[in-house]
Amino acid sequence: MEISFTGKRALVTGAGKGIGRATALALARGGAEVVAVTRTQADLDTLVHECSSIKPVCVDLADWDATERALKDVGPVDLLVNNAGCAMLESFLEITQDSFDVSFGVNVKAALHVAQIVAKGMKARGSGGSIVNISSQASQRAFKDHAVYCATKGALDMLTKVMALELAPYKIRVNSVNPTVVLTDMAKIGWSDPVKANAMISRIPMGKFAEVEDVVHAILFLLCDKSAMTNGAFLPIDGGFLIS
Ligand code: NDP
């Protein structure tokens, strides 16, 4: 299946590392003009070094006002990938106000805010667009020490559905991908222990974790016109974990 993003402008959050970085590079390779948003300047420097057409924006998305300022002149965006996220693992009884606020601030509130900014532009231009929220299998299953993370991803799934409902009249589609473990920097914190990793892998019918590219391919499909009638969908990238 040939997918071209020529003539499209895409914005990817959390584009400094992991899934977001690979998505930004794949979109640029596919012909899109890409705006890469993250909070670590050094990651943006290496990203632009790797692909000079990418436009970097450095901002902490947990800061509502700074995000507003950083994105107000970002220009038209046709495709949005709400990927920035954090996972702070704590047992339920140890959860602090700070970790709750930071996690919800990035994983839910920033996704809502960036989508609001981008979708207002899409609506004003009448050109429509596609938004993909990066959720997780953790939105649907309980994992030890993941109470806040699971709750943020559950909230993000519901946000995806309501956004899909409200934005469809403006030809804006909103979908999510829900990966299993992908061994990025984030996941290495929780899943590097072989005992824990093997216990998880044994619950995945395909018998392995997902690769970054597995997630990127699904994101590209949901962004492009090949999925023109897919709206409000939840796409597990989990080797069958959620149906097992
Ligand atoms: P990484 O930690 O590798 O990358 C996350 C990126 O998001 C980093 O560039 C990070 O920047 C950026 N980011 C985090 N917080 C902020 C912020 N406040 N403002 C701006 N940028 C921010 O994670 P992954 O690639 O693994 O995860 C990407 C998404 O996929 C997340 O939403 C995650 O929840 C989801 N996911 C991941 C899975 C996995 O197993 N890896 C499984 C299922 C879902 P910095 O490094 O500077 O903080």
- Whether residue 187 has its Cβ less than 6 Å from ligand 1: yes
Encoding tokens for residue 220? Answer: 């590209």
Give yes or no for a contact between 178 and 140, defined as CB atoms under 8 angstroms apart.
Answer: yes
Give yes or no for a contact between 204 and 240, defined as CB atoms under 8 angstroms apart.
Answer: yes
Annotated catalytic residue, options 55, 120, 149, 208: 149
Of 141, 111, 127, 27, residue with least CA distance to 76: 127
Of 140, 143, 185, residue with least CA distance to 160: 140
Q: Is 109 a catalytic residue?
A: no
Nearest residue CA, atom 3 of ligand 1?
18
pLDDT per position as a tens digit, 197-238: 999 999 999 999 999 999 999 999 999 999 999 999 999 999
**What is the CA(126)–ligand 1 centre distance, in A?**
31
Of 37, 187, 18, residue with least CA distance to 113: 37
Phi, psi values for residue 29, rounded to 5°: -65, -30
- Looking at the CA of residue 209, tell me the nearest atom of ligand 1: 40
HSE of 217 in the Cβ direction (CA atoms, 13 Å)? 9
Encoding tokens for residue 25? Answer: 């590079």
Rounded CA separation 184/15 (Å): 13
- Whether residue 30 has its Cβ less than 6 Å from ligand 1: no
Encoding tokens for residue 134? Answer: 């990066």
Of 132, 112, 135, 153, residue with least CA distance to 219: 132
- Looking at the CA of residue 13, tell me the nearest atom of ligand 1: 21
Q: Is 170 a catalytic residue?
A: no
Task: Sort strands 172-179 and 234-237 into parallel, antiparallel or unpaired.
Answer: parallel
Question: Angle at CA 9, nearest 5°, toward 5 and 11?
Answer: 110
HSE of 132 in the Cβ direction (CA atoms, 13 Å)? 30
Rounded CA separation 155/80 (Å): 18
Tens digit of each residue's pLDDT, the chain (244 residues): 679 999 999 999 999 999 999 999 999 999 999 999 999 999 999 999 999 999 999 999 999 999 999 999 999 999 999 999 999 999 999 999 999 999 999 999 999 999 999 999 999 999 999 999 999 999 999 999 999 999 999 999 999 999 999 999 999 999 999 999 999 999 998 899 999 999 999 999 999 999 999 999 999 999 999 999 999 999 999 999 999 9
**What is the CA(169)–ligand 1 centre distance, in A?**
31
| DSSP single-letter state for residue 87 | -
